[in-house]
Chains A and B, each alone.
Chain A
């Protein structure tokens, strides 16, 4: 989207500039969202300690690796994005539209959740595919080197996995007609929920699992469990597909409830600090 905006305003912009724009926007948002999240949980680690999912600190080795692999992913995103952009110039397969009236504001609003669900479905199956023995070691292992991921792990992918993730975005741009602004909203929600998944702290309210929406919303607890136990909670934004295909972690709700209940237990509670939840 940024590439197309750039092209419209600067028709001379060479391919290098378009690629650079994709990489820099991805990097900028990563630094703000993942860096901001890391800052908040570091600053408030005392009051948040009851909500820490695994009671072990992030190591600097781990965070350096997560950071460098995320940078590497942005190079791949820019490459795949620019290749898709160039291919679209010749073949024209992107469904993106520029005049909001073309589909109306109702579709504009609907296109966001539709794109999220389509992307979530792609992500779920691509993710399960990457957990297949033989594929896992070559493609997805790098992301799982963090068994207690920090927010910086949001884009810590092997280059091949980065290609698979980038194709998810090519897919939604192809099948869901979206206004560039709707795509901006979708990609911002993606990075937000991605960072929340790797937060290491459960910040959602305790009653979440009781509501229909909360039951399907993916959480920090859900994705942290995935990093530790591998074969559960494959979803990105939601647990819709996990619930449908029966891959939610058996202790998911119990862990979530325990983590969120402990805040109200207070610092003097016998439960505080000790007690390692799995």
Chain B
């Protein structure tokens, strides 16, 4: 399920929904900061959880260009392919 961008996106949404404070209607196009009300630290800490799942490390500079859940999934997918 984590071999494709869509699969990673689904996994991220599942992890996010485990947090009761996250709105229930999120999808791949949801904006992480605006729609989920995550601050910069919350984003970095959340990414850490996903990193373990996929066995990759996301350099902080990559986070600067990420707006949506799908952006994050694409970034993780690229790193996973490069790491494989």
State yes or no: do A and B come from one complex.
no
Interface residues in chain A, defined as those with a beta carbon under 8 Å from any beta carbon in chain B: none
Interface residues in chain B, defined as those with a beta carbon under 8 Å from any beta carbon in chain A: none
